[in-house]
Chain A
Amino acid sequence: MGEAFILDAVRTPRGKGKRGALHPVKPVELAATTLRALAARNELDTSSVDDVVLGCVTPIGEQGADIARTAVLAAGWATEPAGVQINRFCASGLEAVNLAAAKVAAGFEDLVVAGGVESMSRVQMGSDGGAWFGDPDLNLRTGFVPQGISADLIATLDGYTRFGIDAYAVRSHQRAAVARDAGYFERSLVPVHDRIGAVLLKEDENIRPDTSPESLANLKPSFAAMGEAGFDTVAIDRYPTVERIEHVHTAGNSSAIVDGAAAMLLGSAEGAKWAGLKPRARIVTTAVVGTEPTIMLTGPAPAARKALARAGMTVDDIDLFEVNEAFAAVVLRFLRETGVSEDRVNVNGGAIAMGHPLGATGCILVNTLLDELERRDLRTGLATLCVGGGMGIATIIERV
């Protein structure tokens, strides 16, 4: 099998929901923005790109009907690149990277763009329906709960307190603020413009450096009411050693709902040569796992273990980790399960501070990871996310 290299990667800043700067921007335009930037700064002959794989988790309405191909057309690229939209829930952006890498490594294609897009302010999460929660028969048999209940279940089982959860969230904001102010995100960030060329947004909009344990402590638990309606019972029926679900997650210690897009150019050695680009890193291994669906969000550690095992590595061989901050408890569970120290994980903050544009986040994590490995001149990184339906995904990269 051949190798798949990361040639370059970009992302938009993440805009903050309905009152945020990116709300006026159509999702296809967000995706097109990243494609245009990728082509422009690499002087890419876009006709040499075989495919564009974009993650998108709510692919209906203006995100529907294969937004990847639509974005290729919207970006004014050559007609040759195809486009495919994929959905592995929150892992879609990383799945796009892995799939693109697999196509390249298999030798079937030489230049593939991977990425993702989600305008959560414009297309409501969950509005595409689905049998898991929409079909009562299946819902009952498989113990469906909303993800916030799963996160609170993890916190309850592991004994993470509201204080500990909030403290983690504060660190996410602090780290993100430091990174933003020091320009650590600049290599990947591309600004989003309006139709007359004015900059709408050039930095992540949701970071609040003044976030404190006190300010977070005032927030109400987000999932107590739905728990009371019956979802706590679903969780407890599945985990009957739990007396009561502690609802510790709030809007302040869960990932923010934002808009954003990302794109990464992957290629074979040949592809890199044609494009005249120097590979920045190689994809070492990738892994996905299925885990128990009610607790749902415990996939990162097993996925990481699987990817490490395939690579013949251990966590000690990894310099930096990006673990998606879907909820604070997800990261804390990963730290506990792997024994990895927090100073190697999400060193520039994460989705609690900057937001989680569902389809794009996975790709953003790899961008951020690679930028930071380069900045620190380190070698290996692992990106991982928990995934709806009880899945996990992980990707290991190595600078070349």
Chain B
Amino acid sequence: MSDGIFRWEQDGDGVVTLTMDAPGRSANTLDTPFREAFAETVARLEAERDDIRGVIITSAKKTFLAGADLDELLAVTDEHVARLAAEVDQFKDLLRRLETLGRPVVAAINGAALGGGFELALACHRRIVVDAPGVQVGLPEVMLGLLPAGGGVTRYVRLLGLGAALPLLGEGTRLKPQRALETGLVHELAENIEDVLDRAREWILANPNAIQPWDAPGYTIPGGDLSNPFVQQLIIAAPAMLRKRTHRTLPAPERILSAAVEGAAVDIETAQRIETQYFADLVTGQVAKNMITTFWFQMNDVNAGRSRPEGVAPRRAKKVGVLGAGMMGHGIAQVTARAGIEVVLKDVSAEVAERGKQKIAADLDKAVARGRLTPDARDEVLARITPTGDDAELAGCDLVIEAVPEIRDLKYKVLAVAEEHAAEDAFVTSNTSTLPITGLAGAVRRPERFCGLHFFSPVPRMPLVEIIRGKESGDEALAAAFDYVRQIKKTPIVVNDGRGFFTSRVFRTYALEGIAMVAEGVSPALVENQSRLAGCPVGPLAVSDEVSLTLMWDVYEQTRVDLEAEGQELPPHSAYAVIDLMANELKRVGRAGGAGFYDYPADGPKRIWPGLLERFHRPELDVDGQELRDRLLFVQALETVRCVEDGILTSTADANIGSIMGIGFPPWTGGALQFLNGYGLDKAVARAGELAARHGERFEPPALLREHAANAQPF
């Protein structure tokens, strides 16, 4: 008997408390031993039913119960999907037996109950939650390309109705206790676990005949069933709304929608079987494997600090100097201050710095207006930010982040001065996106305490920070940068120095590829739409306008000059002529200039500039959409492989996470390297070869890709 996972204690009133406490583990997980123990426990409850007044399920761990074992799910293929489906159905039957035991069952939720853990709670008649920081409930399976198959879809719909359940399931919402209470997912909040258990006992004694709402006579789905006209309207529009978000690149929210709607038409047992069918469909698919690999295993690695130098004591930044109060600078100041860190926001004058602070205040006001921030919290954040034009104010800063314009001399100057005024043991960093860190290190006296800290725009919204190790950057500097990024609750990746580092270098290939298509005569709308169909959040032309075509031209020129100095030649690319025309001849420099690949009318949404069609479009071209999509993804994936070859990237996790969070590589792929794994390495080599034959050597499969393919060794 898999004894020990469920501790069984029965009190004098006949209330059984089941405490989940997997031996030797830090958390309870819904793995095979758990399911076996649960089956035995349910059987015992049924056998001893006559002597039981009610049941409380709680946990001895910090969390309540985690979800399914993702290693088990990653291994599922078509061959054993039938067995998996049977196991899932068996577990659901156990939950169903628990909720139809004929005795009140209470989930005493002491900590996070997400995924399978919350599905167990949903099969209880009452859910009482400790209202403490860090406690969350919800069904986030969709984030990993899955659907909640432990009755989660079925019970959410029956508990909340389709209108309320679909967004929570489709977006994988995690809810804090208060919001879970308001939503109706839990019934009561309590101060601590003792309070929870007291309330649970009380409720059991007061409700001996508890049954689930959906088992009560006359039950109807809240908000109406499928015959309700409002529900019908919702269902007709839901697929289109979903497509607007995913362009059908993510199967999980689609299957969730189908399981929810189809389940609402039938009884609960049949609904649960439907749920299993759609789950089986997802779990055997490549997208779920991509997403589990990257968003679970690799994300955990990244956040656990696998790219952080070992053996360096953790460090918390206390006072950060931000040089430059422009868009990047004030964004960095804002996220830093919101993490509770003192900020000195330095610019050429106190007035300019103050203007940056005003922008922060305006952004925080929006958060207050939306109810996401209290006015007090806003005032505290603003109070932590000292705008100044005086370098002396940088005194005591233990971290300096330079964010002035991308002019090497300017950066040299401000870095040197800042190092002088900051604390003796301060780390100095640069938010450059283009200038090599090793070169900039010449500005400071202690290059070992210097590294790159590349933020993405807009800073408050973009979750990634790319840490760049220059030739002389020391482990302590990288560790300090890493710890700071975690402190501001962003995701750090660590890369080595090189032109464009990782993200800018790969991002550039995407923009250039889209522009090359325009040069070839492909309709600009088709380029943009195909990028969205590939799963990219922003089209290559739109994003080029955002970056500014002038900047793209400058980077091209700089790269060409640098390469010439090294005796090399920049490979030809049909995009450059278009950029030259747009930026230099036509002065259509992008969004900031009010005109680029798009027109930006004051009174409406941007439109593709008609002149682009007139100059380049060749309607007679026979364009294959798949070819365009492959080009946009392969050009980035292959450049990522070259970044690994060149030693810029040292971690597959950093490559995948960085590509998705930093440059908008499509989430369904699991990242730029996982995309190749999922495509099949041999097939990827072949496809790259085809693309190279048609579109140029940038698609030539790199040696490292061939090597991985030959060894059947995924990245």
Q: Which residues of A contact B (CB under 8 A)?
A: 127, 129, 133-137, 139-140, 144-145, 226, 229-231, 233-234, 236-237, 240-244
Contact = CB atoms under 8 A, between A and B. Distances in A.
Contact of A137 (B232, B258, B525, B533): B258
B529 interface: yes
B248 interface: yes
Given A129-B232, A240-B526, A240-B529, A234 B257 contact: no
B523 A229 contact: no
B238 A136 contact: yes
List 7 A-B pairs, minimum CB-CB distance, nearest first. A230-B240, A240-B529, A243-B525, A230-B244, A230-B241, A139-B239, A233-B244
A237 B237 CA distance: 16
Contacts of A135: 258, 261-262
B525 A241 contact: yes
Interface in B230-256: 232, 235-244, 247-248, 254
Contact of A140 (B237, B242, B529, B625): B242
Contacts of B525: 240-243
A237 B247 contact: yes
A145 B232 contact: no
Given A237-B529, A240-B526, A240-B533, A140 B239 contact: yes
B526 A241 contact: yes
A136 B239 contact: yes
Nearest to B619: A241
Contacts of A145: 240
A229 B258 CA distance: 19
B236 A237 contact: no
A144 B238 CA distance: 11
B237 A229 contact: yes
Contact of B237 (A127, A226, A236, A243): A226
Contacts of A231: 237, 240
A177 B605 CA distance: 40
A338 B229 CA distance: 40
Given A237-B529, A240-B530, A243-B528, A144 B232 contact: no
A244 B607 contact: yes
B257 A134 contact: no
Contacts of B239: 136, 139-140, 144, 230, 234
20 contacts: A129-B226, A134-B235, A135-B261, A136-B261, A137-B254, A140-B242, A144-B236, A144-B239, A229-B237, A229-B241, A230-B241, A230-B242, A230-B243, A230-B244, A233-B247, A234-B243, A237-B532, A237-B533, A243-B525, A243-B608
Max chain A C-beta neighbours (<10 A), residue from B226, B241, B244, B247:
B244
A244 B532 CA distance: 14
A355 to B, nearest CB: 23
A137 B262 CA distance: 9
A130 to B, nearest CB: 10
Interface of B: 226, 229, 232, 235-244, 247-248, 254, 257-258, 261-262, 523-526, 528-530, 532-533, 605, 607-608, 625
Nearest to A132: B236
A234 B605 CA distance: 19
Contacts of A241: 523, 525-526, 529
A233 B607 CA distance: 16
B377 to A, nearest CB: 34
Secondary structure call for the B interface: helix
A104 to B, nearest CB: 39
Contacts of A242: 525, 529
Given A139-B236, A229-B237, A240-B525, 12 more contacts: A129-B226, A136-B257, A137-B258, A140-B242, A140-B248, A144-B239, A145-B240, A230-B244, A231-B240, A237-B243, A240-B533, A243-B529
Contact of B243 (A127, A140, A243, A244): A140
A329 to B, nearest CB: 20
Nearest to B257: A136
Contacts of B229: 127
Contacts of A240: 525-526, 529-530, 533, 625
A138 to B, nearest CB: 9
Contacts of B235: 133-134, 136
A166 to B, nearest CB: 21
A58 to B, nearest CB: 13
A281 to B, nearest CB: 41
A168 B242 CA distance: 35
B538 to A, nearest CB: 15
B300 to A, nearest CB: 32
Contacts of B244: 229-230, 233
A139 B238 CA distance: 10
B610 to A, nearest CB: 10
A288 B527 CA distance: 36
B539 to A, nearest CB: 10
B261 A243 contact: no
Contacts of A236: 529
B604 to A, nearest CB: 10
A226 B237 CA distance: 8
Nearest to B605: A244
Contacts of A127: 229
Contacts of B524: 243
Nearest to B261: A136
Contacts of A229: 237, 240-241, 244
A243 B238 CA distance: 22
Contacts of A226: 237, 240
Contacts of B254: 136-137, 140
Contact of A136 (B258, B526, B530): B258
A243 B607 contact: yes
Given A240-B526, A242-B525, A134 B242 contact: no
A72 to B, nearest CB: 30
Contacts of A137: 254, 258, 262
A234 B528 CA distance: 15
A236 B531 CA distance: 12
A242 B239 CA distance: 20
A106 to B, nearest CB: 39
Contacts of A144: 236, 239-240
A229 B257 CA distance: 17
Contacts of A243: 524-525, 528-529, 607-608
Contacts of B236: 133-134, 139, 144
A236 B248 CA distance: 13
Nearest to B531: A240
B240, B254, B529, B605: most-surrounded residue (chain A CB, <10 A): B240
A152 B241 CA distance: 18
Contacts of A234: 239-240, 243
Nearest to B625: A240
A137 B597 CA distance: 37
Contacts of B226: 129, 134
A144 B237 CA distance: 10
Output the residue of B239, B254, B625 with the most chain A CB within 10 A.
B239
Nearest to A227: B240
B606 to A, nearest CB: 10
Contact of B248 (A133, A136, A237, A244): A237
Nearest to A239: B529
Residue of B236, B524, B625 with most partner-chain A CB within 10 A: B236
A243 B530 CA distance: 11
A300 B202 CA distance: 71
A14 B174 CA distance: 54
A237 B245 CA distance: 12
A233 B528 CA distance: 13
A337 B261 CA distance: 41
Given A140-B248, A233-B247, A134 B232 contact: yes
A18 B258 CA distance: 35
A169 B644 CA distance: 63
Among the interface residues A134, A234, A237, A240, which one has the most CB atoms of the partner chain B within 10 A? A240
A231 B241 CA distance: 7
A241 to B, nearest CB: 5
A243 B237 CA distance: 21
